[in-house]
Structure 1
């Protein structure tokens, strides 16, 4: 994980440092606290100059300061992880490996082939001195944030950065589209005093022939979001990136297999019913295929991590003194439970796993209960009690009282902890209770969170952004020998379940779509989900989690996992003719049951903003899609 930034100016009359704000530097340093440095390249004869700023969070191999520069004046900034596709040894640093490959590229095709091979999240900037070109972009899913900002004044400048500046500007930041990677011919732009972006798009390549299908948004979609003075051109058809995943299977079964057992199971959501499905050989085979590919994805993400200090001291430290290197954003729901179980498979047994569970103080604890709030408070308590009833055998103590932070995700999280302890009682599971008051929420939103969410601006972005920021910070309490003690997670890697709902029809809107438009409409909706996940979720969450000097990793968006799920017909992945708690993410629930999970396998989907109780904490009349007034000040400063 790194904070990377490049500022390009086509005016030698101005010092390039004028465009590089101090608050932007501070935000970048928060992402990369282990090493920071800058480099300025000036081509006075061609009237352009570039500032490169790199800030490194050390995770793999030897600490490698950025930006990297070679003897030919090529410069590289890398915010990514190579998990597969290109060999990186266990003691090697992937930034150095990528730079070595890049500087060995002889032409455009070589560069495109390199980035087509990389499996893992990335954003990058590469200055190729011999051609006066700046290459930049994000991976196919957009798992790493990259923003751009254009200035059309006399100074004419472009800024690319992992995060935006806090200070106001007339030139708004936007997320760099994930339609492909971009190149700027700096020499040509300096000569014409205009800026042209060349897009190299992602395309599918089918195995049986050379036919290719252009992916993502076309030129028109990208151009309409750019300032009018920026030109956008498509590369020659032969120059493209090969998509790292297989296309979505859009076939619809002739026989609606999803209905053959509906009547039998419709009135019963139970673990026993999941077990009956597992009795089918075909289902069991698919389940094991999913477990294998997802387990490998988790393995890559928990082992590609420097553990040198702990390994040297392992002999001398007690279990309680050992630090966690990996944390899971944890609600006790099916996604986070499955990630936790698979993480337990692969990291050393003596290493703790942090389970980060966030809760926001309920309204009734922040103000006196008025008559107008009576119905709402009763409704909230009934939901909590119903949640506790579901887990009465696992979490008896929480049913005795409702504290200000006993939100649904806290209850299911505690229950999930007990399931994990039963699966592996030898592991130290640090269940971190992160409690957030309204006062702290407002303060941290103003100081940090708002500008990290930006340029997104809805109520939903605010709710999820705040919840993820506090959760990934990892400051809370753990229970140690019966006592609640302060705890701060030391984990640099934070695993999240993003991508499961989008691929396996986990959202309520998927069930609505299925009822209205059937399987064909559902397939179309799922196809759209992954295509927009970069702009809806991933850039925002990368900025949010990276602000703590931690790295977000997304096992469900591993290229092999997505390819496997894309290869299956929709009827194998989800069965929305079945009730909530079984039908959505059906294949995932079967996998969880096969791995030994119990009550959590039939928990209905509950969005983080509702489970943590941040939704409508401050304004009960807001809709998720509304512009959030609490975020508007960032764009307007």
Structure 2
């Protein structure tokens, strides 16, 4: 994980430092706490200046400060992980490996071929000195954040950054679309004072659509959000990146009107673990589930082993298991997605290493109102002890805190139940169930201090709820149970696994049932195709900025390219069957995999979004719609809070 930034100005107008906001620099450093460097490149003969700023979170290989510059004056900023496609040795750093390969590219086609081969999340900025070219972009799913900003004047500054600061100015930041890779000819920009973006879009290797149609669709989509004075053009050679996944299989079985589960008697009203066992009695279904489990397990393995494990992990240095540090954490609600990820992480994380399960709860509204009451001074004292700062929490006893009702939200209850299932699967593992409790006061404070800047440029009620919940969860500050007592704990894990992508591909949301009832399987296929197409703009840039703010890296096993291709290869009824009840029909293949992994009650839990499971959605307003613009994300003075 890194924070990367580039600002381009024309020397006659301004210097790059005029546009490098101190707040943005601070947020970039939070993403990359291990190294921060800046480099200014001036092409005096062409009158343009570029500032490159790199901030590194060191996770694997040798520590490599950014930006990198080679003997030919090429400059590279990289925020990504190469899991496959390009070889990265155990002691190598992927930033250096990528820069080396890029420097060998003698043509546009070579650059596109390199990025087409990558498997893993990335965003990058690459200055190609000999051609005065600036390349940049995000991976196919947009798993790493990159924002751009254009001055509202012709010949003004152009900026790229991993994270910005909330602004109400006319020069709004926007997320760089994950539509392909962009290139700017800086020589032409300096000469004409007119900014033109050249696009190299993604296409499937066996593209059904003509290249011209792909270009026109993407150009129309991206252009509508650009200022009038910025041009977006297709590259003259009509070159494309090759998508890292296969297209969605939209095949609908001839017997699709018949419920695939009808051979299992009377499951409409009675759903149990035995119901899942009935599906697994079918040999084809069982083989499919095992193939899925294998590909998802490999995706998790890549994400939990691709990080440095220091000397402190060795038995000779740390004799007590309880003294070992967690390297991997899971955003954990006890729901089916996080349970399967945790169970698979257990198969690959070294046994002597704890796994942190990050479980967030927001104080329930009724208790938040009663907190100021003096009717019961004893309970009030216990409660205030729990809500106080970290310094005041040191001697909090489990028997008083564990049963405090104000944080017994749905995700806390299912999380505790899920912990017991995981402990049953592997009692030798240290599972740190981290209870992260958030009060209304702290929510308001941290939203205004930093969370609103991370969610920006997104701005809806839904973005606020999810963004705040993920920020507090991934911060990892809470309590863990230790021999009957709750002890203050802060997760040291730099890698945070999240289950996003499961619902989008396996019809997990309630809107998928509505779509299925209205439009059948054909309509559901279209809906699922749209889900992945928009996941970069709806979720992933925001979540990367949120989690990265703690100097941690978000990793998404369900969006591993092999996992997505596996899902895309299957007809819809092999993945989900929405004729079956909630808690079984949606994400059916995942529930069957969970059953095979030894999970029990959690295999039947229906979908519950984090904003409802953590109770943040109920805390401040009940009258809003998720799509409404959220006024709480705007900047206010301290007196207004």
TM superposition score category, shorter chain reference: over 0.9
Pick which of 516-525 and 162-171 moved more.
Answer: 162-171
Contact 1:145/1:163 (8 A) holds in 2:
yes
Q: Deviation of residue 171 (structure 1)? A: 0.3
- Provide the TM-score with structure 2 as the length reference: 0.92
1:44 deviates by 1.1
**8 Å Cα contact 1:2/1:32 also seen in 2:** yes
Give the alignment partner of residue 522 of structure 2, picking from 497, 520, 523: 520
Correspondence for 2:308 among 301, 306, 309: 306
1:632 shift after superposition? 3.0
Residue 624 (str. 1) matches residue 626 (str. 2): yes
SS at match of 2:503: helix
CA distance in 1, matches of 2:436, 2:318: 30
1:193 has 2:182 as partner: no
Q: Which residue of 2 aligns with 1:17?
A: 17
Query: CA distance change for structure 1 residues 274 and 258 in 2, over 3 Å: closer, same or farther?
Result: farther
Could you say which residue in structure 2 is the equivalent of 1:463? 465
**1:306-347 Cα shifts (integer Å, max 9, x gaps):** 112334465433111100000000000000000000000001
CA distance in 2, matches of 1:311, 1:339: 23
Question: Does the 8 A contact of 1:330 with 1:413 survive in 2?
Answer: yes
Identify which range, 437-446 or 219-228, moves more after superposition.
Answer: 219-228
Q: Offset of 1:211 from its aligned partner?
A: 8.8
Cα distance between partner residues in 2 of 1:215 and 1:290: 34
* Distance (whole Å) between structure 1 residues aligned to residue 108 and residue 256 of structure 2: 47
Matching residue within 558, 566, 569 for 2:568: 566
Q: How far apart, CA to CA, are the structure 1 residues paired with 2:215 and 2:188? A: 28
SS at 1:514 equivalent: helix
For the 8 Å contact 1:205–1:211, the answer to whether it is kept is no
SS at match of 1:503: helix
Poorly superposed stretches of 4+, deviation over 6 Å:
207-213
Residue number in structure 2 paired with 1:496: 498
Question: CA separation in 1, counterparts of 2:587 and 2:213?
Answer: 29
Whether 1:355 aligns to 2:361 is no
Counterparts of 2:485 and 2:313 in 1: how far apart (Å)? 29
Q: Distance in 2 between matches of 1:105 and 1:474?
A: 42
1:487 — aligned with what?
Answer: 489
Secondary structure of 2:51's counterpart equals strand
Q: Secondary structure at the match of 2:611?
A: helix
Match of 2:366 among 364, 367, 374: 364
Measured in 2, the distance between the counterparts of 1:367 and 1:409 equals: 21
Q: Which residue of 2 aligns with 1:437?
A: 439
Alignment of 1:243-258 (within 5 A): 243-256=243-256
1:101 aligns with 2:101: yes
Residues 1:281 and 2:283 are matched in the alignment: yes
Q: Give RMSD over aligned pairs.
A: 2.0
- Distance (whole Å) between structure 2 residues aligned to residue 268 and residue 278 of structure 1: 17
User: In 2, Cα distance between the equivalents of 1:286 and 1:292?
Assistant: 10
Pairing of 1:183-332 with structure 2 (within 5 A) = 183-206=183-206, 214=214, 217-236=217-236, 238-256=238-256, 259-262=259-262, 264-312=266-314, 314-332=316-334
Shift, 1:297, TM fit? 0.2
C-alpha offsets along residues 367-394 of structure 1, whole Å, 9 cap, x if unaligned?
Answer: 149xxxxxxxxxxxxxxxxxxxxxxxxx
Hey, what does 2:589 align to over in structure 1? 587
Moved more, 292-301 or 306-315: 306-315
- Does 2:184 correspond to 1:177? no
Q: How does 1:375-454 map to 2 (within 5 A)?
A: 403-454=405-456
Give the match for residue 548 of structure 2: 546
Per-residue CA deviation, residues 187-224 of structure 1 (Å, 9 max, x unaligned), is 01110010000000001112999999838952111111
In structure 1, the gaps of 5 or more residues are: 370-396
Give the match for residue 45 of structure 2: 45
Q: Aligned partners of 1:551, 1:310: CA distance in 2, in Å?
A: 21
CA contact (8 A) 1:116 1:241 kept: yes
**Match for residue 145 of structure 1?**
145
Residues 54-105 of structure 1: per-residue CA shift (max 9 Å, x gap): 0000001011000000000000000000001111111111000000000010
Distance 1:53 1:94, change over 3 A: same
Deviations 1:569-599 (A, max 9, x none): 0010000000000000000000000110000
What residue number does 1:602 align with?
Answer: 604
